[in-house]
């Protein structure tokens, strides 16, 4: 059976927040796209992901007409708490840099974008198989097979790989045409969803001699929390009592007690820093996790992905509007500038807050010195606040 050909302007691999946001921004400029995704819409909706949005990400969601649900159902957070040596220190974002973040899970961002694209008649194919990309340096093609077994070829002016950290698109770029930067960490995060009331109004990032813990939130009755663990940890070895004992050791004390409850979900999350450069090869552009991964400590992953596609959409707009490739040509350099700032911030937060296996007394005491130098200085606090809420500009 012959492949059914579809012709479009921009073919997008991946219907996560990056792919859908790009497709949405392009549609607003009258630029056509087709989005192809191997996961089902339901599977994406059921995956628990991180939850912090920078103010710039929130503004783009609202101003581009995706949804204002983030403003109604998200929680604005004007600060976080850094907890170490049994004491909490608040970093007041609003007071320090005049900005806030929103706690609004990535899953909800996906649902808002998927609903908007659907309402606008966007061409999004979920649950496809056998995806592959061809002729990246000529006129690119994206092949896939739909749920009914029908084979398709999408022929486009440009191809965008927004296909996540295991990106198929990225792998098609010849080794000689790219550099990959890796950093591995000797730990991972054990993440849980628990049925319990909130323990605090804001997020708590806790450093302790027993390792890092993060107390985040989801709803009035469901909370999200993480603790630093060995990457080889098996969730099956952890019952509720053992999990809570670990959190108590790392977070409770000096009158503060976590609110506990039944653990609804547990998962070990890998932890690494990764950058693929440049983020363009011929007619292929990479966006989001396909090109970079950050450790979750700085809450930057989704925000970087959204920033990538904002720049990419501007590049396509200028190409189709005034036949100028200048913005597309500078896309990789411009977006990597912010990516490396976020890489540094995520690495810094991670190394400041986690305990290295086998750390000696010097490392521990030095780390407390570092934490104190941040919380006791307005400049130290302001650096953290500016990076966490999102640097101004792009
Ligand atoms: C989350 O709520 O899942 C979350 C929040 C902040 C982070 C990472 C994850 O830094």
Question: Does residue 266 sit in the same domain as residue 295?
Answer: no
Domain-located, residue 312 = yes
Residue bearing the CA closest to ligand 1, atom 3: 50
Using an 8 Å Cβ cutoff, are 328 and 319 in contact?
Answer: yes
Question: Does residue 149 sit in the same domain as residue 43?
Answer: yes
Phi, psi of 376 (to 5 degrees): -95, 0
CA 39 to chain centre: 18
Question: Does residue 228 sit in the same domain as residue 376?
Answer: yes
Question: Does residue 329 sit in the same domain as residue 362?
Answer: no
Domain-located, residue 318 = yes
pLDDT in tens, 145-193: 998 999 999 999 999 999 999 999 999 999 999 999 999 999 999 999 9
Q: b/e string for 236-256 if b means 16 or more Cβ within 10 A? A: eebeeeebbebbeebbbbeeb
Whole-angstrom distance, CA of residue 394 vs CA of residue 376: 29
Domain-located, residue 84 = no
Quick check: 1 pLDDT over 80? no
Order of strands, edge to edge, in the sheet holding 179-184?
179-184, 272-277, 292-293
Residue 49: what pLDDT?
A: 87
Read off the pLDDT of each residue in 268-287 and give the average, rounded to a whole number: 96
Counting ligand 1 atoms within 8 A of each CB, the residue from 294, 299, 350 with the most, and so the one to mutate, is 299
Question: Does residue 161 sit in the same domain as residue 248?
Answer: no
Query: Hey, which residues does 11 pair with through a beta bridge?
Result: 34, 159
Residue 50: what pLDDT?
A: 86
Residue 319: what pLDDT?
A: 98
Whole-angstrom distance, CA of residue 130 vs CA of residue 144: 5
Q: How far is the CA of 387 from the centre of ligand 1 (A)?
A: 15
Question: Does residue 199 sit in the same domain as residue 260?
Answer: yes
**Ligand 1 atom at minimal distance to the Cα of residue 103:** 2
Question: Does residue 160 sit in the same domain as residue 294?
Answer: yes
Quick check: 201 pLDDT over 70? yes
Q: Is 226 a catalytic residue?
A: no
Quote the percentage of the chain above a pLDDT of 90: 96
Domain-located, residue 91 = no
Question: Does residue 127 sit in the same domain as residue 266?
Answer: no
Say if strands 284-286 and 280-281 run parallel, antiparallel, or are unpaired. Answer: antiparallel
What CATH number is associated with residue 339?
A: 3.50.50.60
Quick check: 394 pLDDT over 80? no
Q: Which domain holds residue 114?
A: 4-77+101-181+272-349
Whole-angstrom distance, CA of residue 290 vs CA of residue 180: 12
Question: Does residue 158 sit in the same domain as residue 195?
Answer: no
Q: How far is the CA of 50 from the centre of ligand 1 (A)?
A: 5
The count of structural domains within the chain is 2
Domain-located, residue 66 = yes
Three-state DSSP at 363 gives helix
Quick check: 56 pLDDT over 70? yes
Domain-located, residue 189 = yes
Question: Does residue 167 sit in the same domain as residue 49?
Answer: yes
What CATH number is associated with residue 192?
A: 3.30.9.10
Quick check: 348 pLDDT over 70? yes
Q: How high is the mean pLDDT of the chain?
A: 96
Nearest to 286 by CA among 202, 169, 393: 169
Residue bearing the CA closest to ligand 1, atom 6: 299
Domain-located, residue 342 = yes
Q: Is the CB of 297 under 6 A from ligand 1?
A: yes
Angle value at C-alpha 309, between 163 and 44, nearest 5 degrees: 40
Residue 76: what pLDDT?
A: 97
The total of other beta-carbon atoms located within 10 Å of residue 391's CB is: 17
Cα pseudo-dihedral 151, 155, 158, 161, rounded to 10 = 10
Quick check: 292 pLDDT over 80? yes
Question: Does residue 28 sit in the same domain as residue 165?
Answer: yes
Read off the pLDDT of each residue in 301-325 and give the average, rounded to a whole number: 97
Question: Does residue 149 sit in the same domain as residue 192?
Answer: no
Quick check: 393 pLDDT over 90? no
Q: How far is the CA of 203 from the centre of ligand 1 (A)?
A: 8
Q: Is 296 a catalytic residue?
A: yes
The gap between the terminal CA atoms of the chain, to the nearest Å, is 47
**Ligand 1 atom at minimal distance to the Cα of residue 216:** 2
**Ligand 1 atom at minimal distance to the Cα of residue 218:** 2
Q: How far is the CA of 152 from the centre of ligand 1 (A)?
A: 38
pLDDT in tens, 105-129: 999 999 999 999 999 999 999 999 9
């Amino acid at each position: 059976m012959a492949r059914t050909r579809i012709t479009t302007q921009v073919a997008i691999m991946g219907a996560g927040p990056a792919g859908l946001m790009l497709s949405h921004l392009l549609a607003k400029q009258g630029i056509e796209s087709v989005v192809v995704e191997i996961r089902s819409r339901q599977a994406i909706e059921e995956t628990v992901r991180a939850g912090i949005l920078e103010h710039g990400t929130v503004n783009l969601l609202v101003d581009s007409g995706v949804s204002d649900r983030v403003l109604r159902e998200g929680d604005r957070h004007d600060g976080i708490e850094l907890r170490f040596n049994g004491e909490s220190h608040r970093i007041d974002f609003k007071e320090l840099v005049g900005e806030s973040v929103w706690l609004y899970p990535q899953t909800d961002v996906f649902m808002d974008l998927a609903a908007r694209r659907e309402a606008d008649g966007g061409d999004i194919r979920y649950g496809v198989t056998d995806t592959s990309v061809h002729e990246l340096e000529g006129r690119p093609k994206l092949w896939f097979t739909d749920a009914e077994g029908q084979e398709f070829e999408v022929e486009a002016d440009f191809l965008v790989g927004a296909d996540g950290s295991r990106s198929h698109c990225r792998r098609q770029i010849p080794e000689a045409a790219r550099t990959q930067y890796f950093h591995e960490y000797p730990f991972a995060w054990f993440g849980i969803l628990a049925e319990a009331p909130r323990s605090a109004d804001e997020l708590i990032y806790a450093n302790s001699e027993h390792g890092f813990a993060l107390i985040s939130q989801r709803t009035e009755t469901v909370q999200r929390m993480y603790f630093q663990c060995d990457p080889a940890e098996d969730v099956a070895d952890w019952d509720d009592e053992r999990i809570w004992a670990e959190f108590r050791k790392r977070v409770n004390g000096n009158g503060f007690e976590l609110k506990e409850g039944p653990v609804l979900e547990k998962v070990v999350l890998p932890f690494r820093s990764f950058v693929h450069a440049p983020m363009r090869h011929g007619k292929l552009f990479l966006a989001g996790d396909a090109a970079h991964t950050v450790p979750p400590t700085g809450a930057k992953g989704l925000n970087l992905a959204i920033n990538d596609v904002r720049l990419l959409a501007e590049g396509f707009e200028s190409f189709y509007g005034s036949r100028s490739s200048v913005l597309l040509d500078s896309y990789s350099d411009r977006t990597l500038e912010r990516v490396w700032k976020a890489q540094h911030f995520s690495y810094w937060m991670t190394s400041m807050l986690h305990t290295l296996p086998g750390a000696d007394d010097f490392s521990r005491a030095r780390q407390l010195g570092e934490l104190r130098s941040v919380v006791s200085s307005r400049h130290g606090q302001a650096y953290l606040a500016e990076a966490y809420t999102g640097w101004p500009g792009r």
